Amino acid sequence: MFTKPVLLVIAHGSRDPRHAATVHALVRRVRSLRPDVRVETGFLDFNIPSVQGVLESLAAEGVRDVVALPLLLTRAFHAKADIPAVLRDAPPQLRIRQAEVLGPSPLLLAALERRMYEAGLTPADKSSTGVVLASAGSTDPEAIAVIAEIAREWRHTGWCAVRPAFASASLPRTQDAVRELRALGCARVAVAPYVLAPGFLPDRIARGAAEADVLADVLGPAPEVARLLLERYDEAGVPVLAAVGA
């Protein structure tokens, strides 16, 4: 019997089946860490169940309290507009609190490093390796500034250099950041995708990494990401204190 608010993980969705498969793998890991918390998944687009459909099902079951967690790395349009709009249309008997997006967080830096080491690097390689922190990109200045700050912070952990790059909307592109790091004299260049799941833009990042020495995997169901979801859930507050759409 679940007594805590339901955790509703809200993912963007994609036509690429790898996206939903990765989201579900992450949610399974979250459930394994906190079996006392009911965890559901809803998608904004392309995949089912939709966020609205999950909310209606929960209300029909008699659920009252929900923490809606955006599966997003930065606060851009989806977190600021799309998700609040969907939550405002939720059944009125639901008390919903929107959790913060995942980034920035030290747990995400730890997950990035995990993926780098899984791709073949070692801690001894850090001082001679330049890293491209490659994100999907955004037109939101706040989101771009966050990516740049993460790159600066990550550089201070011992990498030769870290440069942000973007698959869309912003510059530089991944391939240009790879070439910049080569020109700086880094012995090797690695690309670290700062994305949660495979899809169109992550594939563009991978193509841009053609001249790099190492391409890490997406963050996906890394243990640190699962822990971060639960951290955001706990931060959102139990019991739920605010209602959306009430």
Query: Mind listing the pLDDT tens digit for each residue in 94-113?
Result: 999 999 999 999 999 999 99
Among 31-45, 58-72, 73-87, name the one with the lowest average pLDDT: 73-87
Task: Name the pLDDT band for 79 (thresholds 50, 70, 90).
Answer: confident
Q: For residues 49 and 68, what is the distance between their CA atoms, to the nearest angstrom?
A: 15
CA 75 vs CA 42, 66, 81, 116, 194: distances in Å: 18, 20, 10, 25, 14
Structure tokens at 107: 């747990």
Nearest to 22 by CA among 75, 92, 84, 71: 71
* 174-194 burial: b if 16+ Cβ within 10 Å, else e: bbebbbbbbeeebebbbbbbb
Q: How many CB atoms lie within 10 A of CB 7?
A: 26
